[in-house]
Amino acid sequence: MSRCSQGQGAYGWSVLSMVFLGCFLAAGCSNILGLTPTGHRLTAEAKALRSAYPDPLPLPRELDKRIAPPYIVEPGDVLLVQPANFESPVRLPGDQTVLPDGTIQLGRYGQIIVAGKTIPQIEADVRAQIEAQEKNAGPITVRLVTRVSKVYYVLGEVNAPGAFPLQGRETVLDAILAAGGLNDKASRKFITLSRPTPPDGCRVVLPICYNDIVQLGDTSTNYQIANGDRIFVPTRGWDDCGRSKVCPPCGRPQTPCPPPEGCPTAAPSAAPPVNPFVPFLPQPGAALESVPDAGVKR
């Protein structure tokens, strides 16, 4: 066989190999080769735990948010300690990052442990340590400059998964948007919110009704995010309840709100112009029969 025919044979085999590989990938078998990720699946334990809550829990949520307990300083947070009076003889360093050992530096007044304490507690401890060396120190203030120790996590099929600093006002929808929103492979039916619990304690794995939140304005599962919460978005197709089935507590019957009092229910052509800035809110005791159908499937 000539070198030319050998080269043509090798070229033919390479082309044929590329064709077979393309067909193999197009057939959806690429995961066998390890070329693409297998997706984000819910474990059997997570499925069982989330099914323990067929109804939304009475937790803080959108329209019913709660303030957090006093902030506990942890390593990584940044504090500013300074005298309240400009004429005070006390001179302190600038912003202080809480070190891994839980301390900050007060210059010539020494170190002090601040981790695990609230801001008022830190102020009292700092004032006591400074006044032991400076009799005319005056009041000392402590301000929390940067909060990095309180975070939540958004994982799975989102565009920018990761850990995000907790501001205190976020709901599940805020958290998902902070992570760049759901990607094209995300399941809308099996999103879960897992709240951290002790190693030997019970587990809180809550179903999130994403479609109800974004399309119906249903706040039942748009829970307020707490420190350490994990939102997990599985891959579509692995863990869905099925195309025609909706997993509890999602898919509950929804009721349209009645129009505000005084709003006419006649045909739009006969109705006077409505101010678009008037909120469409339910009125106590209003009859639902007077609500126009508005294309809502019953």
Q: Which domains does the chain have, with CATH numbers?
A: 44-67+150-233 (3.10.560.10), 78-146 (3.30.1950.10)
pLDDT digits (tens, 9 = 90+) for 234-268: 998 866 565 557 788 998 899 999 988 876 665 55
Task: Please state, rounded to an integer, the average pLDDT across all residues of the chain.
Answer: 82
| Predicted local confidence at residue 270, as pLDDT | 53
Residue 6: HSE in the Cβ half-sphere, 13 Å Cα cutoff:
3
24 pLDDT tier (thresholds 50, 70, 90): very low
Residue 278 has pLDDT above 60, yes or no: no
* Residue 31 confidence class, pLDDT cut points 50, 70, 90: very low
Q: What span, in angstroms and rounded, lies between the C-alpha atoms of 157 and 136?
A: 58
Measured CA to CA, the distance from residue 4 to residue 6 in angstroms comes to: 5
Q: What's the CA gap between 122 and 119, in Å, rounded? A: 5
User: Residue 297 pLDDT > 50, yes or no?
Assistant: no
Q: Is the pLDDT of residue 212 over 80?
A: yes
Model pTM?
Answer: 0.74
CA distance 163 to 175: 10
- Average pLDDT rounded to a whole number, residues 20-48: 61
User: Of 51-55, 134-138, 147-151, which range is least confident?
Assistant: 134-138
Residue 72 has pLDDT above 60, yes or no: yes
Query: Could you tell me which residue, 195 or 137, shows the higher pLDDT?
Result: 195
Closest CA to 168 of 60, 246, 38, 58: 60
